[in-house]
Amino acid sequence: MTKLIIILLSAVFINNYVLSKFLGICPFLGVSKKLNNAVGMSIAVIFVMLIATAATWPIQHYLLDPHDLGYLQTIVFILVIAALVQLVEIVLKRYIPSLHRSLGVYLPLITTNCAVLGVTILNISENYTFIEAMVNSLGSGLGFLIAMVMFSGVRSAIEGNDIPESFKGLPVTLVAAAITSLSFMGFGGVIENLFA
């Protein structure tokens, strides 16, 4: 139980997927301007991460490993994720149209995102059990959410200011991300000593 909480908290704060692992930067920089978009995107990411892990972990441990097909990991994972997301989108459109309207736009965008493929591969390389892998994915998604929400606040604060010409657009956003990332570094060392 303690291990699960440690995995969850470290995925959210210390090894934050966006701010320390550099996964999912493209949506982070692209969608974090408006708070609504940021939250919608993050919820979609959490959802996709969870179902992707639920699908790929059993495939790795019951299909690929026993038959010594470990080298097919990359191909199988990305295909499974792409197919799964497409399926989810179709199901949502048919049965829960309201949810499809709010989340559906982001689903194709997340399919080829490093964050989702990254979390599925990391779960395997860290040798997590199924429950640990699910908790890790949940934590990564939550970390993504926190980073996005915080960052959209930072960006809206920058908006009204006087920015030098060369810095307008992406450079000032990246410098702001640097400072946000720096603030997250402060969490290092807290989690391990929480249960010491």
Partner 1 sequence: MRTVRNFTKGIIRENPVLVLVLGTCPTLATSTSVINALGMGAAATIVLVLSNIVISALRKVIPDKVRIPCYIVLIAGLVTAVQMLVKAYAPTLDESLGIYLPLIVVNCIILGRAEMFASKNKVFASAVDGFGMGTGFTLALFLMAAIREVFGNGTFCGIEIPVLAENKISILTMAPGGFMVFGLLIAVVNKIGRHKPQKTDFGCQGCPQAEVCSKIVCSDEKEAEGVD
Give the binding site for partner 1 (CB under 8 A). 19-26, 29-31, 33-34, 37, 71-75, 78-79, 82, 105-106, 108-109, 111-114, 117-118, 121-122, 125, 164-167, 169-175, 177-179, 181-182, 184-185
Side chain identity, residue 97:
P
178/195 with CB nearer partner 1? 178
**Residue 91 or 185 having the CB closest to partner 1:** 185
Q: Please state the closest distance from residue 2 (CB atom) to partner 1, in A.
A: 26
Question: Looking up tokens 């994972």, which residue turns up?
Answer: 77
CB 3 within 8 A of CB 130: no
E strands of the chain, at which residues? none
Distances 162 to 37, 140, 149, 165 between C-alpha atoms, Å: 25, 35, 23, 9
Q: How far is the CB of 139 from partner 1 (least distance, A)?
A: 17
Task: Closer to partner 1 by CB, 21 or 136: give it.
Answer: 21
For residue 75, the minimal CB distance to partner 1 (Å) is: 4
Question: With the C-alpha atoms ordered 150, 152, 156, 158, is the resulting torsion angle positive or negative?
Answer: positive
Break the chain down into helix, strand, coil percent, rounded to 5: 80, 0, 20
Decide whether 79 or 195 has the Cβ nearer to partner 1. Answer: 79
| Minimal distance, residue 9 CB to partner 1, in Å | 18
